[in-house]
Structure 1
Amino acid sequence: MIAYLVTILTLVSIAAILALALNLQWGLCGMVNFGIVGFFALGAYTAALLAMAGAGPVAATFGAIAICAAAGALVALLSLRLSEEYLAIVTLGFGEIVRLVSLNEAWLTGGALGLPGIPRPFFDLVPAGSYEVYFLGLCLLVLLGVFLGLERLTRSPFGRLVRSVREDSVVAATLGKNVVRTRMIAFAIGSGVTAIAGALHAFFFSYIDPSQFTPIVSAYAFMAVIAGGRGSNRGILLGACTVMVLLEGSRFLKDFIEVLDSDQLAAVRLILIGLGLILFLIFYPQGFGREPRLKAGRLLDEPDAPHPTSTQPGDPNGPSQSRPVFRAAAPNR
């Protein structure tokens, strides 16, 4: 039972990293990425190939981040002039391209047989009996680092710029902001974070094949973001936990429903998952968290505080100098 819980928590941490990446791209920047599973697979295969070639786990992970970030920037550059619907189709096509390449290029990816024997990080330094717990701690540590980094990015000037581009790119461009570069950077960062999740997935299972990277992975990531609340990194953590509990907890239906076979149980499981998400959206339409918003300054928060342009009693300057005065320009004579 403990081993099962450790496995579930590991999968939750990987899913949370994937959802945080999607939240940056879709939740904050408004760029729909239905092909996030393609970046997930690209990161997993890149990290696996580099690790099997002799690179350490850290170097393999950073290599996967670089490859996925470059691919994300290229996809964003090619589709920046497209609307949300067409951008979703482009990213969906990218995910399918990655899946077909991993399935047919057996010389590189092993094809349908996959890549077995992926080295696990620091496996020789940890006792075999406690390695799963160690890997869980590693995943939680990486998740914490990703969360803090994205939380800081969200509250930074760049995060505010990303949200302004999402709300109205025309207004942002009118104010002198480079909308193209902002979207490229946001999409590339999100793709790099997706590569981290893919690398952890490959290291955890030590075996990957194309069947692990189906479009349902993208659906699960969107479910986690919707349940957690778009734009809220804190809510994403709860959203990922909720989705994984629904997915994994429903596996125990066979212990309570014995009259159905395996195929019928699989259908009932999907029905219950969909029903649970519908009920969740009815009662929590905004998700667990809300996007952080800027607050007004202290003077505007305090109703009794004097307005900066108002005149104080006994002010020697008088009202004419304490309030801004607007005069029409004199006509040309």
Structure 2
Amino acid sequence: MVQYLVFLTISTGLYALFALGLNLQWGFTGLINFGHVAFMIIGAYTTVLLSLQGMPIFLAVIIGIIGSSVLGLLMGASTLRLREDYLAIVTIGVAEFLRLVAQNEEWLTRGTFGIQRYPLPLGTFQPNLAGKYLMIFILTLLAFFVVWRLFINAKTRLKDGQEIQGKSFQYASRNSVLLSTIFTLILVLITYINGVIALYNYTYKSGLMLLVLIALAMVYYGLDLLVHSPWGRVLKAIREDEEIPKALGKNIFWYKLQSFMLGGAIASLAGSFYAWQFTTIYPSSFEALITFNAWIIVVIGGSGNNAGTILGATIFWAYESLTRFISDNYDFISSAQLSSLRVMIIGLILMILIVLRPQGILGKKGELSLGK
């Protein structure tokens, strides 16, 4: 059970990273990207191939991030001046093109046979007792960071709700904020306790879990600073009506390009963790479904809200694990039927959510970009 929860934590963390990049592009800037997995492909294959050539893993990750940023620059420069649907079409095409290149260029990517036995971060690391306590201490700091940001987010939501709704902000709205905060605190506590046990009984996946959580915390905090800066306010203005910032002398194209490139860089980092988690990568691992899973995460959590994106990733993987648990314990449904049922149920959940709360769980209705 401990190792399964470690797997869920890693999966939730890397999908949250991946979706944070999409949330920056769409939730904050209004850029429709249906090929977000293209950046993950660049990050995963660049990291793996360069590390196999003897390059330090950290440097390989940086080059992958730069490569994804360049890809975002090329895609954005050719489409961002056109209508929004052109960007959506180009991103889908580029993602499929890169997947087919990885599938057919066996001299580079080994094709459908995939790449195995590549260097892994902390792959040969065997900490002593002091090292284990140090990692547990880092995990504790991360837990305090999450709790601190959680209370700040709850306080902000309460304040914004009172300012927007005034006296109509009654107990139901306050209770929803409190319930979501308590629910998240319980998840943090479970993850922390399980993480402490896993790190004390150290395995490779335990170390990777800690790396994922550190990366997620750094990216989340960095994005939070950016989106609340003047740069982030320009992105929100572009999302709502780009003619207004344009009239104020802002270079709309350049801001869009920056957002698209940064979102791609974050997705590239998620691609590196994706390769490290499964220790083998195949072209079939990067199908369009991964992009649409990220869209599901952003829509559920709330577009334009980074905390909502992380909550959406948690709910998504909780749903995935529960449906697998049903499959493992009942004989009345086959794996193929369960796969179809998963899609049907999550589609139904999305339909209900969009009707009842189109801004998502933590999103703000006044900042909704679904109608663009």
Query: Which band: TM-score by shorter chain?
Result: 0.7 to 0.9
Structure 2 vs 1, CA of residues 162 and 122 (structure 1 numbering), >3 Å: closer, same or farther? same
1:184 to 254, 257, 265: 257
For the 8 Å contact 2:122–2:207, the answer to whether it is kept is no
Q: 3-state DSSP class of the match of 1:18?
A: helix
Normalized against structure 1, the TM-score is what?
0.84
Stretches of structure 2 that go unaligned for 5 or more consecutive residues are 128-200, 368-372
2:21 and 2:364 map into 1 onto residues whose CA distance is: 15
Number of the residue aligned with 1:135:
208
1:290 and 1:276 map into 2 onto residues whose CA distance is: 17
Number of the residue aligned with 1:50:
50
| The 10-residue stretch of structure 1 (158-167 or 219-228) with the greater mean CA deviation from structure 2 | 158-167
**Is the aligned partner of 1:148 residue 2:214?**
no
Q: 3-state DSSP class of the match of 1:121?
A: coil
Number of the residue aligned with 1:111:
111
Number of the residue aligned with 2:234:
161
What is the CA deviation profile of residues 154-174 of structure 1, one whole-angstrom value per residue up to 9, with x for unaligned ones?
Answer: 001110111112222222222
Structure 2 vs 1, CA of residues 259 and 144 (structure 1 numbering), >3 Å: closer, same or farther? same
2:45 and 2:27 map into 1 onto residues whose CA distance is: 27
Q: How far off is 1:112 after superposition?
A: 0.8
Identical counterparts, % of pairs: 37
Normalized against structure 2, the TM-score is what?
0.75
For the 8 Å contact 2:38–2:98, the answer to whether it is kept is yes
Q: 3-state DSSP class of the match of 1:31?
A: coil
Number of the residue aligned with 2:6:
6
| The 10-residue stretch of structure 1 (147-156 or 171-180) with the greater mean CA deviation from structure 2 | 171-180
Aligned partner of 1:245: which letter? A
Structure 2 vs 1, CA of residues 279 and 88 (structure 1 numbering), >3 Å: closer, same or farther? same
Structure 2 vs 1, CA of residues 10 and 269 (structure 1 numbering), >3 Å: closer, same or farther? same
Q: Quick check: which one's helix share is greater?
A: 2
Number of the residue aligned with 2:266:
193
Aligned partner of 1:92: which letter? I
Equivalent positions of 1:212-223 (< 5 A) are: 212-223=285-296
For the 8 Å contact 2:359–2:365, the answer to whether it is kept is no
Structure 2 vs 1, CA of residues 286 and 224 (structure 1 numbering), >3 Å: closer, same or farther? same
Number of the residue aligned with 2:73:
73
Q: 3-state DSSP class of the match of 2:360?
A: coil
1:178 and 1:126 map into 2 onto residues whose CA distance is: 51
Q: 3-state DSSP class of the match of 1:54?
A: coil
What is the CA deviation profile of residues 248-278 of structure 1, one whole-angstrom value per residue up to 9, with x for unaligned ones?
Answer: 3211222454223332232223222323333
**Is the aligned partner of 1:204 residue 2:273?**
no
Q: 3-state DSSP class of the match of 1:123?
A: coil
Structure 2 vs 1, CA of residues 116 and 279 (structure 1 numbering), >3 Å: closer, same or farther? same
Alpha-carbon RMSD: 1.9
Structure 2 vs 1, CA of residues 107 and 249 (structure 1 numbering), >3 Å: closer, same or farther? same
For the 8 Å contact 2:122–2:204, the answer to whether it is kept is no
Number of the residue aligned with 1:225:
298
For the 8 Å contact 1:251–1:269, the answer to whether it is kept is no
Aligned partner of 1:35: which letter? G
Structure showing greater Rg: 1
Q: How far off is 1:223 after superposition?
A: 0.5
1:277 and 1:95 map into 2 onto residues whose CA distance is: 25
For the 8 Å contact 1:231–1:292, the answer to whether it is kept is no
Number of the residue aligned with 1:324:
none
| The 10-residue stretch of structure 1 (126-135 or 98-107) with the greater mean CA deviation from structure 2 | 126-135
Greater length-normalized contact order (CA 8 Å, ≥ 6 residues apart) = 2
Stretches of structure 1 that go unaligned for 5 or more consecutive residues are 295-333
**Is the aligned partner of 1:245 residue 2:325?**
no
Q: How far off is 1:231 after superposition?
A: 0.5
Give the number of aligned pairs.
294
Q: How far off is 1:14 after superposition?
A: 0.2
